[in-house]
Amino acid sequence: MSKTSAIWALGAMSGTSLDGVDAAMVRTDGIEVFEFGESAYRAYSEEERAVLRAAFGHETGPKVAAAAEVIEIAHAELLAGFDGAGVIGFHGQTTVHLPDQGRTCQIGNGEVLARALERPVVWDFRSADMTLGGQGAPLAPFYHFALAKYLRLTGPVVFLNIGGVANITWLDADAASPEAPGACLSFDTGPGNALIDDLCAARLGERMDRDGVLTRAGEVDMEALQSMLIGRAFFAEMPPKSLDRQDFTDWMDLIQGLPDADAVATLASGTAGAISMAMDHCPAPPRQVLVSGGGRRNPGLMEMIAGLLDCPVRPVEELGLDGDMLEAQAFAYLAVRVQRGLPTSAPGTTGVAAPVGGGVLSEG
């Protein structure tokens, strides 16, 4: 496809950290990224956040129905403020992701959103991948590959996203396409911000360790840290692999008796350690690690990660990108790929049997 066939697409993301909805515009032909457009954020209220949190671990029932209504209303409110999008990519809100059991649930009906906004919406990105034996996640790697081309990067590079769960995309920026053999390897590394956020909410009534104050102030409990990382089967499993937000909640038992700052610092060290261990699965050492997601705003966590890796660890802003909007942009990009019949995942990104295009298109 030529540059003249590029369109403006709008993507939306609501992550497991439950802070709110991110939305961003990208001009793309589904292969290359040509331009970034406006972006916006709509925070959840405490009441909405409680409704969403209650739906975690459920796929059906009244809690899920109530949460789906919150998701649809919040997205419709935010996305109605954008003009000029040829298609919308709608991720929804993940409440369950258990790929080894063939189960995943992203609530929010794209058909409802398409009717409300009177624009085509691509949604349900994970099901087709899982039907063909894939993990259904992560889904941003093809966009990371397009960004590497946009930035004219060379050789191996890692994109690290630290949301509720942390994940990496290792990619060969010299490869011809993201679905080419050996071009991309992506997988979840372990907890990101989720456990730190949960602890801050439970103990302090705060949504997060703002500015990493507790992470930096606390002392890591080495015994607890070793229990978090040593002998955990997930870390030894070969990628691709993915996680549910609830998969590492047993870490909370290990830090239960620690003071607040020490508990947060130990959880952060577990996140950093898991990321470091993930690098052992990469086909070649990356030249740099580019970080997006809320975790990059925690200086203590970023220092821990940088101290464990042998290459520069940089927030994506240093390359002119918006680390808050990368995942929303990814779903804009993927929506165009779905419209144009291009694959959205491959064996190296999700473990799917062959490159596959996911997503359901609702015309609106």
DSSP string over 22-81? EEEEEEE-SS-EEEEEEEEEEEPPHHHHHHHHHHTT-SSSHHHHHHHHHHHHHHHHHHTT
Q: Give the pLDDT score at 224.
A: 98
- Is residue 163 within 8 A of residue 192, CB to CB? The reply is yes
Q: Which two tokens stand for residue 273?
A: 């350690």
User: What pLDDT, in 10s, does the model give residues 164-207?
Assistant: 899 999 999 999 999 999 999 999 999 999 999 999 999 999 98
User: What pLDDT, in 10s, does the model give residues 312-321?
Assistant: 999 999 999 9
Exposure string for 238-271, b = 16+ CB within 10 A, e = fewer: ebbbbbbbebbeebeebbeebebbbbbbbbbbbb
Predicted confidence (pLDDT) at residue 355 exceeds the cutoff of 90: yes
Predicted confidence (pLDDT) at residue 4 exceeds the cutoff of 60: no
Average pLDDT (87-99) is 94
Average pLDDT (288-302) is 96
Give the helix/strand (H/E) hosting 260.
helix 260-278
Q: Give the pLDDT score at 134.
A: 93
Q: Give the pLDDT score at 245.
A: 82
Task: Tell me if domain 3-138+327-362 and domain 152-319 are identical in fold.
Answer: yes
Average pLDDT (67-89) is 98
Q: Give the pLDDT score at 124.
A: 96
- Judged by DSSP in three states, 238 sits in coil
User: Which CATH topology does 152-319 take?
Assistant: Nucleotidyltransferase; domain 5 (3.30.420)
Average pLDDT (267-289) is 98
Predicted confidence (pLDDT) at residue 107 exceeds the cutoff of 70: yes
> 89 φ, ψ to 5°?
-100, 120
- Is residue 141 within 8 A of residue 178, CB to CB? The reply is yes
- Is residue 121 within 8 A of residue 86, CB to CB? The reply is no
- CATH class belonging to 3-138+327-362: alpha beta
Average pLDDT (254-279) is 98
Cβ contacts of 96-100, under 8 Å, gap ≥ 24: 96/56, 96/57, 96/58, 96/59, 96/244, 97/136, 97/137, 97/242, 97/243, 97/244, 97/245, 98/244, 99/130, 99/134, 99/135, 99/136, 99/137, 99/242
Strand pairing report for 121-123 and 87-90: parallel
Domain boundaries, the chain: 3-138+327-362, 152-319
Predicted confidence (pLDDT) at residue 208 exceeds the cutoff of 70: yes
Predicted confidence (pLDDT) at residue 3 exceeds the cutoff of 90: no
Cα gap 225→218, rounded to integer Å:
13
Predicted confidence (pLDDT) at residue 100 exceeds the cutoff of 90: no
Q: Give the pLDDT score at 1.
A: 40
Average pLDDT (7-29) is 94
Question: Is this model's pTM higher than 0.85 or not?
Answer: yes
- Judged by DSSP in three states, 266 sits in helix
Q: Return mean pLDDT, the chain.
A: 95
Q: Give the pLDDT score at 2.
A: 42
